[in-house]
Amino acid sequence: MTYNGGLMHVKLIKQFRFEAAHDLPTFPPGHKCRRLHGHSYRFDVVIEGEVDSGKGYLADYGEITSACAPLIQQLDHYYLNDISGLENPTSEVLAKWIYDRVKPVLPLLVRIVVYETCTSSCEYAG
């Protein structure tokens, strides 16, 4: 059976989690973020486009998972400052770092949202 509903524009969102430590060397001396600490990070990968009328879907969520798996391996339970490009791993820098690595694999990528805490996040849209 195929989808026969005409054009349908959608956004798919897949969320990932990792645990990591960091410190923020550009913060003022004495600031709590200058000290070594960790977060239970989450990030959303948002892709957008037209649903394939023959398939009835934009993309397989498994494709998103496959594109992000190597990044999770690189980030999970590591000290982010030791990773090339993350020497100053603010949420802003981390969101762009993830985007830059996922976009070549997922051309429909439109946004990365990094959640550093339950109440603080950063969106990067390329």
Domain map (residue ranges) of the chain: 14-46+59-124
Q: What is the pLDDT of residues 78-117, one digit of tens each?
A: 999 999 999 999 999 999 999 999 999 999 999 999 999 9
Residue tagged active-site, from 33, 48, 63, 122: 33
Is residue 19 annotated as part of the catalytic site, yes or no? no
Pick left, alpha or beta for residue 29 (phi over 0 → left; psi -120 to 50 → alpha; otherwise beta). beta
Of residues 76 and 55, the one with the higher pLDDT is 76
Architecture of the CATH domain 14-46+59-124: 2-Layer Sandwich (3.30)
Q: Residue 31 catalytic?
A: no
Q: Catalytic residue among 77, 87, 92, 123, which? A: 77
Active site residue 33: yes
- Phi and psi at 124, nearest 5°, equal -130, 125
